[in-house]
Structure 1
Amino acid sequence: MLVFSDLENQSGIWEETKDLFASDYLHINNLTEYNDEIYLDALDDIQKHVWNCGGGSITEYGLPPSRGGEKTSNVVRRERSYNKEKLKEEVAQKELLLNDKQKQVYDAVMYRVHFGHRYKNNGIFVNAAGGTGKSFVLNMLLDSVRSQGKIALAVASSGIAATVLKGGRTAHNIFKIPLMEYNEVRSCSIKKNSELAKLLELTSLIVWDLVVMANKNTLTALDITLRDVLENEKFMGGKVFVCAGDFRQILPVIRGGGKNEELEHCIKSSYMWNDLTKLELTENVRLKKDDTKNILFAQKLLQLGSQSEGPVEFDEDFGVRVKSRQELVDKVYDDIENNHLNASYFEKTSYSITYE
């Protein structure tokens, strides 16, 4: 509530709730009456959680100071806790594995990290279909920046995608994007001089994966907030901002909306789209060159998402044909009733199914 919301009476919230927050410490210390030490224990706990959420000293929110209120937040320390020597070794090994398109993306981003001050806009969009090694390149960029002792923030539009990035979190979590209707988002809950603002000031690279899922208003809110907090009128406050995704996949979800509304609110409809440098990954690195069947399957999927005119034709033996939704469910998730709590069940190899 302190970090993410603008409470009407922050200064009075402590007096109203202090006994509730301190009750655990009253019990732990086997006491029957509250005292100043018990309240300080509670304030220390609140301060720790506020720092972990990217906030500053609790005195900024109208609360009394904690014992460690003047200590440095662990927000910056967390982003600088990586083993630089180990990361350097990993980056050197991975550089040898990059194909031409991947190396083009890697070199372009790292050049901006070192010489971004020469550019008016340091935004880059990486268009990458599934299997082209997007996560590999993004993680390599994060490793490379962190190996130099610099800060790289990794975010994604969904929690599952965030787990693929090293040190990844959701964009809403790290940038304090308010959880409200897309048309109500105006700015992020980041206060000037807060610990999160200090972290952003020290950041050299921001990576946002699955950005095509993000509503353009949330990106606008982040852009406005960074310009304001960092007092820099360049795009995203002058930070190197790398976003990636595939427009064949899920676009922003609009309550009660259809295709037109989704397109209207995706990043392509944002003012920032024309100013982003566009790069692309095209080679499917998951498939072996002699794997003809799966190569054909991958090509057909790309056609479905790319072909603007005419039907996409499939051979008779392409995939498994079903005639109802229930049969589709049964073929994809056979015996799901007995396996819905079994994680390994959902990791099985999928196959092509055509619903007639």
Structure 2
Amino acid sequence: MYDTNLEAVKASGLLSDASVWSETVMDVINSTNDRRQLRQTYASMLVYSDLEDQSAIWEDIKDYFSSDFLNAARLTDYNEEIYLDALDDIQQQVLNCGGGSITQYGLPASRGGARPSNLLRRERAYNKTALKESVEEKVKLLNSGQRGVYEHVMHRIENGHRYGHNGVFVNAAGGTGKSFLLNLLLDTVRSRGKIALAVASSGIAATVLSGGRTAHNMFKIPLMEFDETKACSVKKNTELAKLLQQTELIVWDEVVMANKNMLTAVDITLRDIMDNDEFMGGKVFVCAGDFRQILPVIRNGGKEQELAHCIKSSYMWEGLAKMQLTENVRLKKDDVKNSKFAKQLLTIGSRESGEIYFGRGFGVRATSREELGYKV
């Protein structure tokens, strides 16, 4: 005689066969797409079975247990956060069945707290192991200029920062490996399980960054006339505010194109969200661009208005550490023609060229509109 039905069933040896439980789980998977029901069944097994290794089923089919959370987060690859979502739910189901912590059944620990938002989950969805391996290989490829910027930024992240020292501007002409460097910084922070946000002033530039978005989209920057200054549309206690609070690094590419009022809006918003008066709320802020390229576009404005609204005219310019990439990493040493052309472009952009000459082979010649249209 036993005090409970469970003890009697266990004593009869009816719960000792792991294959029975595996078949039960597969029956649920094959009969329904309801993953919550699957987790409920598994929770009952954890509490009522006497399997020696109750975690084996979890390890074998944890993707099935977690697939609804993957879809809800709009992700394509499973990661630790998605599995924790499933473990949180299993833990709750186990408690409902009268059980204890799922760790006593051999499973990994659940969070034991509130689930992160989808915004946080997406920014934490990177494969840390793969990123660490990639970072180790890419760091070896840095030239001296890139390495100087990389070590400078990582030192600020690892050792704290204060106003005037947590912002960096990287002046980089085309071909100097700017995108490679910025993505390496992002990957390094993300490989450590931290959050790094990547934004750019245009959609095309954003696609070059890993996880990149436009600055307007990320920070909810309002549309402004060139002489306006507004805060971003981010309220405290929202998912986006919580994401920004936990962010370690912000990378902004093609910042030269941005109206300085956009940067001011982000600065004001981050100070408010972080409840401090530090530049960008105390976040390590890395921006990059090339003043040889496009300045802010001002409707009906001329050169003076463009210069007055670029980042150099912002109060934050003096607080940014200025660093520069000069080595062109795209050109092969034996590519004399392209190397000569690249150097010519740089001298034009730097106003060092004097008179500009183009060889006979430059461009495509046409003798009529029809021929021009055809050749274009």
> Is the partner of 2:204 in helix, strand or coil?
helix
Q: Give the letter for the 1:165 counterpart.
A: L
Is structure 2 residue 156 aligned with structure 1 residue 112? yes
Aligned equivalents of 2:194, 2:359: Cα separation in 1: 54
The 8 Å contact of residues 163 and 278 in structure 2, kept in 1 or not, is answered as no
> Is the partner of 2:250 in helix, strand or coil?
strand
Aligned equivalents of 1:85, 1:325: Cα separation in 2: 59
Report the CA distance shift for 1:257/1:93 in structure 2 as closer, same or farther (over 3 A): same
| Paired residues, number | 265
Aligned equivalents of 2:223, 2:335: Cα separation in 1: 45
Alpha-carbon displacement from aligned partner over 1:209-255 (angstroms, at most 9, x marks no partner): 00000000110111111111111111000000000000111110000
* Aligned-residue identity in percent: 65
Alpha-carbon displacement from aligned partner over 1:91-125 (angstroms, at most 9, x marks no partner): 00001110000000110111111113356530000
Q: Give the letter for the 1:209 counterpart.
A: D
Residue 258 of structure 2 corresponds to which residue in structure 1?
Answer: 214
Report the CA distance shift for 1:72/1:93 in structure 2 as closer, same or farther (over 3 A): closer
Aligned equivalents of 1:103, 1:151: Cα separation in 2: 22
Is structure 2 residue 350 aligned with structure 1 residue 306? yes
Matches within 5 A, 1:184-223: 184-223=228-267
Q: 1:277 aligns with which of 307, 321, 328?
A: 321
Matches within 5 A, 1:79-228: 79-117=123-161, 120-228=164-272
> Is the partner of 1:243 in helix, strand or coil?
strand
TM-score between the two structures when normalised by the length of structure 2: 0.66
Matches within 5 A, 1:233-312: 233-307=277-351, 311-312=354-355
Alpha-carbon displacement from aligned partner over 1:298-352 (angstroms, at most 9, x marks no partner): 11111111116x7333253361365899699648x62xxxxxxxxxxxxxxxxxx
Displacement, 1:290? 1.5
Residue 88 of structure 2 corresponds to which residue in structure 1?
Answer: none
Aligned equivalents of 2:372, 2:151: Cα separation in 1: 44
The 8 Å contact of residues 128 and 192 in structure 2, kept in 1 or not, is answered as yes
Aligned equivalents of 1:87, 1:142: Cα separation in 2: 10
Displacement, 1:185? 3.4
Aligned equivalents of 1:195, 1:204: Cα separation in 2: 16
Query: Larger radius of gyration, structure 1 or 2?
Result: 2
Displacement, 1:184? 2.7
Alpha-carbon displacement from aligned partner over 1:156-200 (angstroms, at most 9, x marks no partner): 000111011000000000100012323233110111121111111
The 8 Å contact of residues 257 and 296 in structure 2, kept in 1 or not, is answered as yes
The 8 Å contact of residues 178 and 185 in structure 1, kept in 2 or not, is answered as no
> Is the partner of 2:160 in helix, strand or coil?
helix
Aligned equivalents of 1:325, 1:236: Cα separation in 2: 55
Aligned equivalents of 1:209, 1:106: Cα separation in 2: 15
Aligned equivalents of 1:327, 1:253: Cα separation in 2: 33
Report the CA distance shift for 1:326/1:155 in structure 2 as closer, same or farther (over 3 A): farther
Q: Give the letter for the 1:140 counterpart.
A: L
Report the CA distance shift for 1:228/1:325 in structure 2 as closer, same or farther (over 3 A): farther
Report the CA distance shift for 1:199/1:256 in structure 2 as closer, same or farther (over 3 A): same
RMSD: 2.3
> Is the partner of 2:208 in helix, strand or coil?
coil
The 8 Å contact of residues 176 and 330 in structure 2, kept in 1 or not, is answered as yes
Aligned equivalents of 1:141, 1:327: Cα separation in 2: 49
Report the CA distance shift for 1:249/1:84 in structure 2 as closer, same or farther (over 3 A): same
Aligned equivalents of 2:344, 2:170: Cα separation in 1: 22
Q: Give the letter for the 1:219 counterpart.
A: L
